[in-house]
Amino acid sequence: MLDIWDLLFPLLKPPLRIDAPSILDLPGELYPFQIEGVKRLIKNRSFLLADEMGTGKTVITCVALRILFHQGQVRRALIVCPKSILGVWDTHLRDWASTLKVTVVHGSQDVRQIDWRCPAHIYVTSYGLLRSDTERRSDETTSLMELASGNLTFDAVVLDEAHAVKNPTIGQTKAARKVSKNAKYRWALTGTPIQNGIEDLRSIFQIVRPSLFPKMSVPVSPDEARSKIRPYFLRRLKRDVFPELPDKIRSDEWLDLDHAQQAEYDKTLLAGQNEFRSGEKVFSRIHVFALLTRLKQICNFASGVRESPKSSALLEHVEEIVANEKKVLVFTQYVEEGVKKLERILEPYGVVSITGHSSNKVRANAVERFQTDPTMHVFLATTKTAGEGITLTAASYVVHFDHWWNPATAWQAEDRAHRKGQKETVNVYSYWMRDTVEERIRSILDRKGLLHEEVVGSLSESDFDKALTVDDLLEVLDMKREAVQIPETERLRQEAEVGIGEVFERLNTMDPFDFEEVVKRVFQEALGYVNARVTKRSADGGIDVEATRTVRGQSERIVVQCKRTPMVGPNIARELLGVVSADPSLTKGLLVTSGRLTRACRDFCQKQGRLEGIDGFTLAKWVHDHKIGTAKSNHPPLDEKTG
């Protein structure tokens, strides 16, 4: 048991200087961007650190807390995180804040009551247990936390994977809000700050800095919300802070169902189609996704069969990887038709595995063995289970045995290997079955631009869901709309709200002049350039929209070049830079496309202080969020533009 001097010791030591790593006595050197992150946390009592996964948000936070303890600004702190990464925090605090006493609050109610009573600088617990331990049940006058500690309060509260509090009405959000209420420092950490849109950010800031959005019921535009949170928000991307990180190379492997799979697949699909056609089941998302799940499981293995074309392809890859003394991560959505069958197949090559049912101890042991034991060549996991809080840089190969709708989930999992500490190129293999729902789903995602990182990275999960319509689901199952019964609620929802994906498709197929009109309205109605106008149809120097606005008393004049095209490269950006450079009165030039900006184009725009690129999906989100129509306009004939 710690005595009072143990707890006072960190506070009595000389103040630490973040710019002097040797004085900090850290187990490793901080990167410059991490030092900047530490400084921002220390400076801001309310803050959302939204750096991309793999950039070391946990390390940044540990060091910042350690310094605040040494300065006497914080005497007791609480860290709340998903259950699966309690051990990650315990380890990082031990390494990066070794002078602080840490208690992980976990286990049975009796054990947790002892944990809350244990003197400590930092308490670490999960969102579920925080909710349970702060609730007062109907037959009790005090919660478990109050019973254990009398009145346990915290000077600092850290919410890790803060998208867990994106819903303001659920119990764990209310619990986090309650324990944070009187804290001097309230920090949130997440690599995915807008999983369900701008309301996610508002819910997080209701805890971190409630004064920004005092009433959730009052509508706030996305631009207004971003403007409000800007002083308390920091996001850096992995490619920007680790330019030396090795490449990630993706390869798609296309396979065919074997005889047993084909027979079961056809029978299952036909039975599902007949249930929808007969009206036995309405064509609702829950019923459709249940059928898709079964069909995707068959794409992995036929029922009762332990081998398949996918498992054969996996064996070939693993044999070659092991022969070259390398390691591989294998991800699947499913336990029975994924992990369980693959464990038997991969056992001869040295395999460790985790699923959603794995305890923290099993999970930590699996990671440790894989990272350190040269005989363990395969790390096998369900995709979501391995998507947070672990480092698996011993692997330089990744295999996606199957796929989620949202590719960001898979990318998040593969970044367990593609992160700081990785020295080799990471090769990623994805298995797809031809002429199945896997191929149809992928085709729809590709058509909608939903397989590109720069597009998906700007989407929330609800945005992604809205991008997939009832017609898309009908296409996946090879059915006609008139053949099924669509629930009234689904029909009305789709009629009332055009999905972002549909807006994206409209932008890519509309007349170029209509596209310019839509862009003009976006700048007027979404971005505050109330006097935006489309330029004359001839002699416009490649500029399609001009606009001005006043920001903080300063006049801002911009020009916009519109490209209704699938791909825009740096050559177009260079042309726009020439126009902007020739006119000192211009503040900025914007390159707006209905499609994608190449990486080279994005990099070029970022390096030029007076250029900005806007891709088609960002534009579609603005059009969607601000309800800007995409109908045809009365534009002049084509020859007037071309002269």
What is the per-residue DSSP string for 347-371? GGG-EEEE-TT--HHHHHHHHHHHH
Q: Mean of the pLDDT values across residues 597-624?
A: 85
Q: Mean of the pLDDT values across residues 72-96?
A: 88
With cut-offs at 50, 70 and 90, classify the pLDDT of residue 56.
confident
* Residues 623, 627: Cα–Cα separation, whole Å: 6
Q: Which CATH homologous superfamily contains domain 248-488?
A: P-loop containing nucleotide triphosphate hydrolases (3.40.50.300)
In this structure, the dihedral spanned by the alpha carbons of residues 346, 350, 355 and 357, taken in order and rounded to 10 degrees, is 120
Pairing assessment for the beta strands 554-563 and 545-551 based on DSSP bridges: antiparallel
- Out of 133-142, 183-192, 629-638, pick the least confident: 629-638
With cut-offs at 50, 70 and 90, classify the pLDDT of residue 22.
very low
Pairing assessment for the beta strands 378-382 and 328-332 based on DSSP bridges: parallel
* Residues 36, 42: Cα–Cα separation, whole Å: 10
Pick the more confident residue, 368 or 385.
368
What residues contact residue 252 under an 8 Å CB cut-off, 6+ apart? Answer: 429, 430, 432
* Residues 95, 99: Cα–Cα separation, whole Å: 9
* Residues 316, 223: Cα–Cα separation, whole Å: 50
- Out of 21-35, 324-338, 416-430, 606-620, pick the least confident: 21-35
CATH of 504-642, one of 3.30.360.10, 3.40.1350.10, 1.20.140.10, 3.60.15.10: 3.40.1350.10
* Residues 94, 96: Cα–Cα separation, whole Å: 6
What pLDDT score does 197 carry? Answer: 63
Pick the more confident residue, 301 or 244.
301
What residues contact residue 180 under an 8 Å CB cut-off, 6+ apart? Answer: 154, 157, 159, 186, 207, 208
CA 436 to chain centre: 28
- Out of 10-14, 152-156, 557-561, pick the least confident: 10-14
What are 448-469's pLDDT values in tens digits? 777 766 566 656 666 666 677 8
What residues contact residue 27 under an 8 Å CB cut-off, 6+ apart? Answer: 95, 96
Q: Mean of the pLDDT values across residues 341-357?
A: 94
Average pLDDT, the chain: 84
* Residues 103, 117: Cα–Cα separation, whole Å: 10
With cut-offs at 50, 70 and 90, classify the pLDDT of residue 8.
low
What pLDDT score does 168 carry? Answer: 83
What residues contact residue 106 under an 8 Å CB cut-off, 6+ apart? Answer: 83, 86, 112, 115, 125, 126, 129, 360
What pLDDT score does 150 carry? Answer: 61
What pLDDT score does 63 carry? Answer: 93
Closest by CA position to 403, among listed 266, 314, 300:
300
* Residues 387, 159: Cα–Cα separation, whole Å: 18
Q: Mean of the pLDDT values across residues 345-371?
A: 92
What pLDDT score does 460 carry? Answer: 64
* Residues 100, 156: Cα–Cα separation, whole Å: 14
Q: Mean of the pLDDT values across residues 248-258?
A: 87
Task: Judge contact between 64 and 181, C-beta under 8 A.
Answer: no
Q: What is the DSSP string of 87-133?
A: HHHHHHHHHHSTTS-EEE--SSHHHHHHHHHS--SEEEEEHHHHHHH
What are 169-227's pLDDT values in tens digits? 899 999 999 999 999 999 999 887 665 567 778 888 999 999 888 776 666 666 677 78
* Residues 478, 437: Cα–Cα separation, whole Å: 9
What pLDDT score does 268 carry? Answer: 97
What are 269-318's pLDDT values in tens digits? 999 999 999 999 999 889 999 999 999 999 999 999 999 999 999 998 99
Maximum Cα–Cα distance for the chain, whole Å? 86
* Residues 465, 293: Cα–Cα separation, whole Å: 16
Same fold: 248-488 with 504-642:
no
Helix (H) / strand (E) containing 578: helix 570-581
What are 396-412's pLDDT values in tens digits? 999 999 998 888 888 88
What residues contact residue 151 under an 8 Å CB cut-off, 6+ apart? Answer: none
With cut-offs at 50, 70 and 90, classify the pLDDT of residue 253.
confident
pLDDT at position 141 over 90: no
What pLDDT score does 207 carry? Answer: 93
The position carrying tokens 């992928």 is 442
Q: Which CATH homologous superfamily contains domain 4-241?
A: Tandem AAA-ATPase domain (3.40.50.10810)
* Residues 320, 399: Cα–Cα separation, whole Å: 13
Closest by CA position to 565, among listed 634, 510, 641, 627:
510
Domain residue ranges in the chain: 4-241, 248-488, 504-642
Q: Mean of the pLDDT values across residues 412-438?
A: 89
CA distances from 90 to 83, 93, 365, 416, 417 (A): 12, 5, 14, 19, 21
pLDDT at position 328 over 90: yes
What pLDDT score does 605 carry? Answer: 87
